[in-house]
A and B are shown apart, each in its own frame.
Chain A
Amino acid sequence: NAGVTQTPKFRVLKTGQSMTLLCAQDMNHEYMYWYRQDPGMGLRLIHYSVGEGTTAKGEVPDGYNVSRLKKQNFLLGLESAAPSQTSVYFCASSYVLAGFNNEQFFGPGTRLTVL
C-alpha cells in the first residue's frame, strides 16, 4: 500500500501560469481533501470530495478548482497562479463507517512557489 501520494513534490511557477496537482490514494477511501499550509500556520481546507464525481468548497476555495473523476484520484487546479498561492499543499483521504468519519491519511505534501 502506497497510501496517499502527491505529484509533484516541488514546483515553481510564474504569476499567471497554470498547473494541476495530483493526489492518488489506494485505500478505497470515499472522502478526499485538499489543504494548504502557510509557514507557521494551520491547515486550511480548500476543497473536498465525499465521493467520485462530487466536490465541495472548503474555507479558502477562491483561485482553485478540483475534479474527482475517479474514486482514487483528486486533482487540484490553479488556473492563474498568484504569489499569494505560495504554500505547501496537502492532500488527505478518509473513510466513513457507521456514520462516523475516521482518521485522515495525509500525502507528503507539494511545496509550491509562485514568483
Chain B
Amino acid sequence: GENVEQHPSTLSVQEGDSAVIKCTYSDSASNYFPWYKQELGKRPQLIIDIRSNVGEKKDQRIAVTLNKTAKHFSLHITETQPEDSAVYFCAPRNDMRFGAGTRLTVKP
C-alpha cells in the first residue's frame, strides 16, 4: 500500500515568515496531490491541490510544488498569519492514506 511521510511534524514561525511542509509518497500511480487544513475542533478542508501533469500551482499566499521523479510534493505558505495556525495533512492519491500531519504555529 501507499507509504506517506510528512515533515516536519511541528513547525513554529514568526508572523510574516514562510513555511514549507514536505510530503513523500511511494506509489508511482498517484495522480492527485491535495493538502488539507484542519483547525482545532474542526473538520479537514482542502486548501490546494495539484494534478500529476502540473509541477506547481499557486493560490495567493499558498503554493504546492510536485516532483514526481523524487515522489514528493510540498506546501508553501508565504507571509504567514496567525490564522494559518492549524494542522496540515497531505493525501497523495486522496483515496487511502493521509500523512501524519504537521502542526503549524504562527507567532504574532
Contacts and interface: CB of A to CB of B under 8 A. Distances in A.
- For the residues of B in contact with A, the DSSP-based class is loop
A34 interface: no
A107 B43 CA distance: 7
A1 B49 CA distance: 23
A90 B44 contact: yes
Contacts of A108: 43
B103 to A, nearest CB: 8
Contacts of A58: 96
A31 interface: yes
B59 interface: no
B98 A101 contact: no
A103 interface: yes
B44 A101 contact: no
B86 to A, nearest CB: 13
B43 A43 contact: no
B95 interface: yes
A44 B101 CA distance: 11
A108 B45 CA distance: 11
Interface of B: 31-32, 34, 36, 43-46, 49, 51, 89, 91, 93-101
30 contacts: A31-B95, A35-B98, A41-B100, A42-B89, A42-B98, A42-B101, A43-B44, A43-B98, A48-B95, A48-B96, A58-B96, A59-B96, A59-B97, A94-B95, A100-B31, A100-B51, A101-B32, A101-B94, A101-B95, A103-B34, A103-B49, A103-B94, A104-B36, A104-B46, A104-B94, A106-B43, A106-B44, A106-B45, A107-B43, A108-B43
